[in-house]
Chains A and B, each alone.
Chain A
Amino acid sequence: MLTLYGKSFASRLILGTAQYPSPNALKQAIAAAGAEIVTVSLRRESSRARTGQGFWALIEEMGARVLPNTAGCRTAKDAIATAKMARELFGTDWVKLEVIANDDTLQPDLFGLVEAAAALSSEGFEVLPYTTEDLSAAERLVSAGCKVLMPWASPIGSARGLINKEGLKSLRAYFPDIPLIVDAGLGAPSHAAEVMELGYDGVLLNTAVAKAGDPAKMADAFAKAVAAGRLAFEAGLIEPRDMAQPSTPVAGTPFFKIDHAS
């Protein structure tokens, strides 16, 4: 089970709700993924279009737990105000905290992130910070009150997979008891399996499913990869080695002569 802030979930795949070709494609993808948590956001509401009202009806119908984000916020102040609006709007203390440093990489501004995480934690929020694999930032976030960390694999929407696998391994080793979820940068189910094989607790993704030719089928593929990677981690992977080692017993090999052994 995936346990985040005292709540347990059978699925370790958290799905974003943006960029799907249609509301129906979103519904089918969430169902195919078996996702119990979905990320949502908030945006300015037009009194004419009232776009958000229809979207909210769709999410309520799905019945998944929502994880509101602060996407697009460039300062701790904006992220804090956005988180407070989200808490009232969605009725949850959970927040996927994003403080973005620049538009090209959408990388987290770790300084603003720590500042906002501390302020929000002190006001009762349960913060899930979108961070990097940086160990000292992770330590500061945990000290600020975060009980979950969500490092990126690579930049949001880049589909490049794990660009610093060693860094992610170090983070896992350094924080054995903090739930770790890779958030952002995954493009293929094999990336998700790789993350889970490292012992990560879950995966959060959006673009790779939403922009797939068949989002529901890709959601199913990611769900299977996440489950397979988790099983592999629990089973215990063997260590890689430099040289070959026969898997078939050597003893009793037909035609074997000792002379040929050297």
Chain B
Amino acid sequence: MKILLNGEAFATDAATLDELCARLGFGGAKIATAVNGSFVAASLRGTTKLDEADEIEIVAPRQGG
């Protein structure tokens, strides 16, 4: 299926958000996630199913003012 990952088109057959993060190598990384504009807690990634055209955000700490 095609999703939008961090604003860019991305093809994946990951069934859940957790699976997507793991495939991207983010297992154990310091990240936070949102699906279609809403925050998804780390504890809910395993039960958050991905659908066609979902918009996924995966963010990490960054410098800020």
Q: Is A253 among interface residues, defined by CB-CB distance under 8 A?
A: no
Other contacts beyond A16-B65, A53-B30: 7, CB < 8 A: A42-B62, A43-B60, A56-B30, A69-B65, A81-B39, A90-B61, A156-B65
Minimal beta-carbon separation of A151 from chain B (angstroms) = 16
Q: Mark A28-55, 1 if CB is under 8 A from B, else 0.
A: 0000000000011111111100111101
Interface residue range, chain A? 35 or more
Q: Is A84 among interface residues, defined by CB-CB distance under 8 A?
A: yes
Q: Which listed residue, B31, B41, B58, B64, touches A16 by the CB 8 Å rule?
A: B64
Interchain pairs with CB closer than 8 A, number:
104
Chain A residue at smallest Cβ distance from B6: A44
Q: Are A68 and B64 in contact (CB under 8 A)?
A: yes
Chain A residue at smallest Cβ distance from B36: A81
Q: Are B59 and A39 in contact (CB under 8 A)?
A: no
Q: Mark B34-48, 1 if CB is under 8 A from A, else 0.
A: 100111011000000
Interface residue total, chain B, C-beta cutoff 8 A: 25
Q: Are B64 and A45 in contact (CB under 8 A)?
A: no
Q: Which listed residue, A18, A51, A81, A84, touches B64 by the CB 8 Å rule?
A: A18
Q: Which residues of A contact B26 (CB under 8 A)?
A: 45, 47
Q: Are B65 and A52 in contact (CB under 8 A)?
A: no
